[in-house]
Structure 1
Amino acid sequence: MGAIPTVMRAIDPEQPGGPEVLRVVERPVPVPGEGEVLIQVAAAGINRPEVMQRQGLYPPPPGAPSIPGLEVAGMIVATGPGTERDLVGQPVCALVAGGGYAQYAVAPYGQCLPVPEALSMVEAAAMPETLFTVWTNLFERGYAAEGDTVLVHGGTSGIGTMAIRLCNTFGVTVIVTAGSDAKCEAARKVGADRAINYRTEDFVERVKAITGGKGVAVVLDMVGGDYVPRNLQCLGEDGRHVSIAVQGGAQATVPLFEIMRRRLILTGSTLRPRSVEFKTAVADELARTVWPHVAAGTLKPVVDTVFAFDQAPDAHRLMESGDHVGKIVLNIG
């Protein structure tokens, strides 16, 4: 292991703006603190919160670096106090609060997962953000279990494709929505049992038809707004509605008597502001329940496009266009 440099290439916009602000600049290499590791980054996943941060709409949480990037994969090259010394040289992927668009990034060791031989660094970088999000919301808050049928909006997004792959892995039937026939076909190819074109079909009627009027056990929703009352119509008795974003509006009007009559649960969560302790607990659970499937090569993320580090503006343009199926990744190593 060579000496760690003091300066690295990173993307750290001084002002919010369009994709063109994502220029590569020089920044000091971060130093790992208590319980943290320094990762030499091979690849970083691109996520919608990073687009919002670039636009000035989603400031990083207190203490997080201004460099964007919520997930990385690479090699541990140094450790902070309170970590085991023999971690250096381990290939890992990690969920981070920021700092991913750089040659080096710091992560709490508890938020790292090992990269097995079955996974490339690009694939590993495409896992943490969507895996933590889908697992904690669809499977923990929504209690999706083998034999259930669930509805996931945005079926070709990074979240949607990860939800499909996890449902396939754990015996859950998954219905998704997408905005075109081509995207519906792409979602079916990824593994969706059914795909509904929400522009040409009423997803409420289609879900009722597909489930024989029973409805689904869980809806995973990132739209919000007027989708919420429609989603509730898709739920069966004792169904769970899980909100993870509000791209279509932060307010909704819901029929309380229907919630009471069918004993529905409305819940949701955000991931980025949660504590290191919470994320570490999730990582431990993923290591036990999901990672064996990853190590066996049976669970992989869907990667749409890989961009070179200095093509980050193009990566964000693709994310904003919505024309991708699965994850967009920056190749940094």
Structure 2
Amino acid sequence: MTTSLSTRAAWYEKNGEARDVMVVGSLPLKAPGRGEVCVRLATSGVNPSDVKSRRARPLTDPWVVPHSDGAGTIEAVGEGVSKQRVGERVWIWNAQWQRPHGTASEAIVVPEAQAVKLPDNTDFAAGACMGIPGLTAVQAVHLAGDENLRGKKVLVTGASSAVGHYVTQLVTQYGGQVIGTVGSEVKAAHAKSAGAVETIFYKTEPVVERLKAFSQGRGVDVIIDMDFATASQWVTTGGLAPHGELIGYGSNVVGDIPLTFRPLLFNSIGLKFFLVYDLLPADRTWCVNRLNELLVRGQLQHTIGARFTLDQIVKAHEAVEAGQLGNVVIDL
């Protein structure tokens, strides 16, 4: 494939609903240049951010092959890359970050650092869950304190989501007690399977009151959050203990979010935010190494909720939009 001029892929040329804009066919594929590798992909991971981008992020290229995450085997390397990497099983991060060619493709060329060796005990489907869900979870828990979480009470918003399920596992492994927000009984069971002690049905239950009951009236010590627009209100009304921290990696509102300053100041609340696509190099290296360490040790549960073929990419995107439990993966 690396010597040919094309690869089979799925792409879109304008924003819109998946069934209206997705196309499957052949696209150009360059040979790997200096510092690059060509990966024959076995799987491609579909994340909510892929859906949001396809719907609304303005295109800066004639076409976009979606998806940042995937896994496969290196089949060719460019100048400066060890030929010993040919044949290596890898997982990929940031494939479609600030570039048009993501992993919804039978082959892809990326900088070699973005093709991370996949441990032998980890299959390609799980490998396609590492780039966004895995790295987000590891960085969030790292910012929350890792070993220092022992004995602390932690709210994980969206504890049954792809990221939240990994976060819940990691916090529990470090000795923290997780209470997670969920939207259904099935999702509650999924969160508890990862180690959550309690769950909150955030659509029908008073979240702050539940948090106070869980924490003997203090509020939880840490919130690891996927929707700051909502969680910010819990923080300022007593859901987070004095000197507590909120670690945020997303929000359902992208515009201005009002905050009540006085409770933040007088309770010495800490707010930390990060974008998983834009980690500092040292942070990225630490997270990648930590994630692979967890994989080698078999310390992560992976939930593949649904699998599709490339020709079924519309169904794959619609599954994510419908809130599919577990990760959605495309087999290539």
TM-score scaled by structure 2? 0.89
On the 8 A contact 2:12/2:22 being kept in 1, the answer is yes
1:249 Cα deviation from its structure 2 partner: 5.3
Q: How does 1:1-333 map to 2 (within 5 A)?
A: 4-20=3-19, 21-55=21-55, 57-59=56-58, 66-98=64-96, 99-140=102-143, 142-144=144-146, 145-147=148-150, 148-232=152-236, 233-248=238-253, 250-272=255-277, 274=278, 278=280, 280-322=281-323, 324-332=324-332
Alignment partners' CA distance in 2, 1:97 and 1:331 = 17
- Rate the CA distance shift 1:19–1:8 in 2: closer, same or farther, 3 A: same
Q: Which runs of 5+ in 1 are unaligned?
A: none
On the 8 A contact 2:166/2:300 being kept in 1, the answer is no
1:59 Cα deviation from its structure 2 partner: 4.0
1:32 Cα deviation from its structure 2 partner: 2.7
Q: Which amino acid aligns with 1:299?
A: L
Larger mean CA deviation between 43-52 and 73-82 belongs to: 73-82
Residues matched between the structures, number: 323
On the 8 A contact 1:93/1:124 being kept in 2, the answer is yes
Larger mean CA deviation between 312-321 and 177-186 belongs to: 177-186
Alignment partners' CA distance in 2, 1:63 and 1:80 = 24
Q: Percent identity?
A: 26
On the 8 A contact 1:49/1:58 being kept in 2, the answer is no
Residue 217 of structure 2 aligns to a residue in which SS? coil
Residue 307 of structure 1 aligns to a residue in which SS? strand
Alignment partners' CA distance in 2, 1:65 and 1:124 = 26
Q: Which runs of 5+ in 2 are unaligned?
A: 97-101
Alignment partners' CA distance in 1, 2:62 and 2:264 = 39
**What is the root-mean-square deviation in Å for CA atoms of aligned residues?**
2.3
What whole-Å deviation, never above 9, does each CA across 1:291-316 have from its counterpart, x for those lacking one? 22211222132221111111111111
Residue 254 of structure 1 aligns to a residue in which SS? coil
- Rate the CA distance shift 1:152–1:115 in 2: closer, same or farther, 3 A: same
1:4 Cα deviation from its structure 2 partner: 4.4
1:115 Cα deviation from its structure 2 partner: 1.4
TM-score scaled by structure 1? 0.89
